[in-house]
Structure 1
């Protein structure tokens, strides 16, 4: 304990010594505080007089000697009281030195105690504080221990809570998964459970196909069948699928039975009696079509549902086919006797005139087919595929007849074809004569048509010139807008430019006969110098200095504008066609010129120029340049016509008689189209087959010629020019600059090959010579036709 107190005192002294340290003072004092401390220290050096001594005694006590003590002991002084008050030895006498020393030690001790009492009290108070602080520290330590335990408990509880939370989340997720699984299973089972419900509804005698619940029932069956088809791995899936198909077949049988009842009833209601058939010409259309059409809405409501679902299942397609057969069978029952009677009447009426028989039969057939076509789409929304079978069958039979290639085999059809050709020519000549007589010879001119010379004097020349100038300007703007619309619609600049060239040429030709002056003088006043007049401080001075407005005269010549616009459009067309022919070559030449210009640049060093060569560039190696030349040459061959194909056309035309074949094909095209439309009139089809065979043989030569001509029409640019311009001289004039540009591009390429490439590289490139390019470009349509 003593060592501990000494150590603590040493620590206290060290800390106290740091209070006024010069380097790191813990409690620095001001000068006033230092003066007060000095005064207190001076006062503290003087020992305070003991409180138990009387104040009237002298200020000090002289040391007692043995003689003085004897003298004083006999006197009655205040010292006696002092001696009395103090604890003297027994008898209040000091008899020897030992007693004196003991008494003096006690006295000194009491004085010390009195002198240091305050300090002791302070020390005791500090001790108490220390004990309190110790107790507080102990409480704090216990509190910290409690907090540590509380923290451990909190961590434990938190861990438990988190684990519980995670477990709850896991259970919720598992619950959600199980609920989703249960719902998924329930949704999947719903398709299987629908079987009993659907079967029950179909077994009801009160179920009607026209009720509101029947169509949703079909939709639900379609969903179930589609689901079972897409999930064949489910247990008993095939069994349920078969049962659903049975239910679907039962529902479709109800639909077919309902439609059959409607059609049979309608046929029985409108079918005439046998004795009334010869006299029913007037009301035949009303009976066969008007009354029969009244039942269409009830049938079409069901057939539309079948047509919508034909792609879902073959059962619907089969049911729709059965409905078509039911419809056609009833129409055959209804129309068969009437058509047979009509054909017999036509045959007896035109016994010797086969052409008249053909015309009358075709006319009758067209009316019947049109009426049946309209009636069919009153009952059904989509066309029937039965026509495809009839067409294929008749096409196959016609193909068999075309196998007769020899003259002997075709001799049987010569007279018939010749008679038909003569009939067509006769009709064409007759219609031409009728037109000449009615619209030319017997034309009755109105009063306005004969208003001459008033028409020629309707307005003054200056007024006409002003209007014509505005009309020409409007026409040019309208044509340019139309050109932009064609380019936007067709995505073809070539068509737009040719359209504008064609109509500008037409416009120039139209205004040539008028011989009018299309130029006008327009006068304008230029007020541009008056803009800054308001900013001048002296308005009068500014007005005088500026003067009068400047007069500007402009001459506007619309005819010259037409020529200028035509020139610009032709130049654009020439550049565009040149780009079409030589776009790969132009792209290569532009890149090659960049490399050549770098070689000629004075700022580039000699070493760099030596490394920069055209042949070393990746895009200019001989193999790549060969591809560029071949692609350009291919484009030219594709876009330009080949004269050999035109020669083939001419040869074939001479051999087969192109003019006769084309005329015959034009006259019989309408008949062929009408024959293909036949659907239900079986008896008339037999007559048409013969006609189709005849036409097929005659048109075989025409087809051959057309195929050859189509093969020759691969020249896109020349075809477009011929289609729009229709003038060989204009085409030749317009194509001549294109030819020059293409030749110039190939000439530049040949010069580049001579300058930059070796003989071996030129062989690899295989660039066409100028003669080859000229020969290819010279195959114009005019030369081809010759």
Structure 2
């Protein structure tokens, strides 16, 4: 490859600082020139390019001594106006590549020498600074050693100081504990030291319940007792507790005497005032006496309120609860002595003037008023105890007993069930339900006595109800007019014929059988008065005996009038009874328990025969088991028994009417069935000559005989059945009931005709059925029966 003409180099990046890089570059250039020769055109271009850049200034960083004084500075950019010829380092012109590489190597060496000099200066500077730092470090070490010595001395002083402070704190804490222990010991000893002080005060002749120091001393005594009780481990605590208890008993005794004396004094003042104003005992409702009995008593006993309040506030303790109960008793005794005569006189006045219901109502209202006033007065003295009903029981019970003692003899002799039911309503609704329940706690003390009176009234009412059921229902002896059926119903129907038809209810109760009316009336009165369990038993018994009485009357009417009248009478009254007991919301099922001794005789016989031992307790035949009765239980439901009796009576009536109308047809069907059985019996060797004839040739089944049977049935339908329907309308006024009862009769008649019709079609010709027998079609028969109702 031909050498290119020399040219000025272009600005380029910083030259490599390593000789290895130059060597690699040279090798690469040589190899490149060998492997990639330039064409003539390319060489011409290079020459033109060399000429174009020949006048460009040489790079400023190649100039000698331009920037050598600056350590570590970067190569500056070429400046305008500098020329390559100004550099003293490059005076020769670079002709070829070798010259360029040589020039570049010299340049690199110069730059390297210049760089080493800068770094050497930097190293010298660092060395001086390191030496300075070493001197400083030696000074710091000496200073640190002095500081450590000072720190050790400070630590020693701090330890000594802390030890002194801890010792001072321990001494202060010990002092505080000693002070606290001394205070605690003093506070505990104060409770024991109080014994002498309290004892001296309580035994002082000037000390009484009215003294202003009495209640504080009593409170301090309670505190001492509570403390000694809570610390039984202290020496002689038991002895001190006994002495404190003695002082407490003395104080409570003083309180009791003080309360009693005050209540007695007040009661005496009030009684004297009443006697002075009226001259005799008067009723409590009068203005003067009421004012004196309550207002004066409250004002006179006002000084007791502080003492009674202190007792109530400590009622949680046993001894104070006892003294409080005693105060309640003393109060009730004095109040009772004050108003006993007034209440007794007022109730006696009521008993003389009023009837039993009025006496009960007025007496209860009066006692409610007295009880309410007494509760208000009691609440004034014992506000915390007023909620307890038992607190006023010693006062309220004797007052209410006066009314009970007046009412009970009259209740025992009372026989009127209506009046007894009225008394139950007064006590249950007006007294217990309204007056006592509405006023709440103020009259709650009357509830036990009122409930006791109510229980007596219920007992008497139950007894009278059982007597009424026995005498008026079970043992009722009917009069002739009671059994005059159907004339009785006809008279009632005729009496109302001008304004109502026969189907209307002219007078319902007059048409009832008297035991039925008495049963329904009695049960309706007792239902709201007696407890459900008691009423259930009475209702069971009443319905049972009423049903029996109706059946007995049914038999009498059947013998007197006709079986049809007896059946309709029983159906009518049983339906009424079932309808009337339906509203009672009770269970009519009652379980009866009985003792059965029937097995006792058999066991005794075995013992007498020597078959078992009387003293063999280990076997089932022992004396205990032998003499033990059996408990037999039987459950009777009166409502179900009534339904059963009604159903049986209706079925009996239906069958009797059916037989009355179609009995000839039923007899004919029975005979035909018997003949057919005889004719079809394969086991018979000999058949009667008469029975061997066909049905239509039998004497009872000739067309004329059948026509006679059909005619009898038709006559019964036309004549007897209307009479039955008329009686049904007379006895049963409800059309739906008649329809229900007549429907099975109609069905039975239709079925009897269908059976006979099937027999006739099998045995007789159509001409005989139409012309001789004159059979009525099912459609015509049904239309005929439908006209009856």
TM-score (norm 2): 0.34
Bigger Cα Rg? 2
Query: Relative contact order (alpha carbons < 8 A, sep ≥ 6): 1 or 2 greater?
Result: 1
